[in-house]
Chains A and B, each alone.
Chain A
């Protein structure tokens, strides 16, 4: 098992490099003939920048990013991009981190409740709410929250002056995720409760609490956490919208800005960081899996791939 995760962690850097290469190729094809200066560096001397071939540029970028942590120069401010990106990434990660936790704290209980009350009003209420919120674009939700809590009730400030004001963007992010988690948890829990072992556990006189929360829930956690990567990815995507809506200086607003002003260096940096986050998340999701389903542990070796239970 250790070997497997070592391999996964080691593979992160080549994966990110592959993503960088892909984006490089696409950007180069977009820029046409002049591909010599896709990335700007602070130590470039104006006028006498060396004409680097495509592969040289790629190599230089990877070297600078992974060895020196240098993402190049900010396209609009002539300042190092790295610091700015780190600051923004920290902001976005903080927000997504909190909302991932909120997502599961909200989604899991709702899903469990719906599955345990299958077919009754609690189930129907939760199912319709989760369908509604998972379908809604996050800016619609954000609008609703702002109109209600900020403009009408005046509980929080839209301009985000206090920490408490961040509750609205966080809630906006968390609710859509929680709806998805609740949906998957409900389905997993309902399926688990129908499994024959539930009956045999009950026939042995185990308490309802143990049957539901120890046994059925453990089975249901597998599908609930199999969407962990997707949930996180959606939250990062959702942060693009939320950061724009609330004018938060994060990675998402950086991507939009870079796309709008065609700032290749900035965009490249954002893409590298997003790819890195996604890779780490994917390893984290696998780790979570192995924690929940210990029977997977034995089969994991350096050379194996993780097959999750129920995967075809």
Chain B
């Protein structure tokens, strides 16, 4: 594990991705406290302004400062992405371990459910959840999270199956180790790195779904300035003020690319030292 960490930090791309992501998160947390404007502060005197020293990202049709709205939106978008991504990670890991370790009927049943979930696109699932379980109550979060479970469950299950058949688990079985002990000592230990890689992908996917939801007006909706919402508002002034939609789009793109690079970095650093991956 230590060697993997060193490999990870010796790769400039991974370090850069991590740094950019950390900077974005830090900015979103801190900037609303520092900024002279509120995210919903209407200022009719300064409407539709192009970027300037006073408003680095310009203002929208109500004179609201885009920079502070971006920071606020980032809080919403990124916390949804991380929350749902990690929810999917936790549920998927548990499902995967349960299916892989128990085998038999539990396994085939669990995997069938996973197949069923993954046959529905995540976006559709989130829309359906939000609509059917009542709008505006954050139900779309469950939709995003559930859509993220199957890939996790599959990866973890495959790893568990491999570990379960390995000789060292057989050996500790023979020595009288209980199921709980085996899961804790061998299975979790080996599955964690794989789950870490998938988690970054999962957070990125959740980010995509969340912003798309915001864009099509499901889930987080105005006046809360989620990044997808901001993009949608900017789209209406594409010709005159393209930066209003370009900036949210760029922020989304940067975060997603960083998350993927982070995942790649983790995977490479684990496989470089001959880790349990593949």
A and B interact physically? yes
Report A's interface with B, CB cutoff 8 A: 23, 26-27, 29-30, 131-132, 135-140, 143-144, 146-147, 151, 158, 229-230, 233-234, 236-237, 240-241, 244-245, 255-256, 259-260, 262, 267, 271, 274, 278, 282, 312
Query: Contacts A131-B260, A135-B256, A229-B119; is A241 near B216 (CB within 8 Å)?
Result: yes
Report B's interface with A, CB cutoff 8 A: 118-124, 127-128, 130-134, 158, 161, 204, 208, 211-212, 215-218, 228, 231, 235, 238-239, 242, 245-246, 249, 252-253, 256-257, 259-260, 264
Task: List 9 additional contacts besides A138-B212, A237-B121; criterion CB under 8 Å.
Answer: A137-B228, A143-B231, A143-B245, A151-B239, A229-B119, A233-B120, A237-B124, A241-B216, A267-B131
Query: Contacts A26-B132, A135-B260, A137-B208; is A244 near B216 (CB within 8 Å)?
Result: yes
Q: Judge whether A131 and B264 touch: CB under 8 Å.
A: yes
Q: Judge whether A30 and B133 touch: CB under 8 Å.
A: yes
Contact with B204, one of A135, A138, A140, A256 (Cβ below 8 angstroms) = A135
Residues of A within 8 A of B257 (CB): 132, 135
Give me the 6 closest cross-chain CB pairs, A-B, nearest first: A237-B121, A26-B132, A140-B249, A237-B123, A135-B256, A233-B121
A-B contact pairs, 13 of them (CB 8 A): A27-B132, A135-B256, A136-B256, A137-B211, A143-B245, A236-B121, A237-B124, A240-B123, A256-B217, A259-B127, A259-B218, A271-B128, A282-B119
Q: Judge whether A30 and B132 touch: CB under 8 Å.
A: yes
Complex: A306 Cα to B156 Cα, angstroms: 23
Q: Judge whether A151 and B242 touch: CB under 8 Å.
A: yes
Complex: A299 Cα to B127 Cα, angstroms: 39
Nearest Cβ distance between residue B134 and chain A, in whole angstroms?
Answer: 7
Complex: A173 Cα to B133 Cα, angstroms: 30
Complex: A151 Cα to B237 Cα, angstroms: 12
Complex: A236 Cα to B211 Cα, angstroms: 17
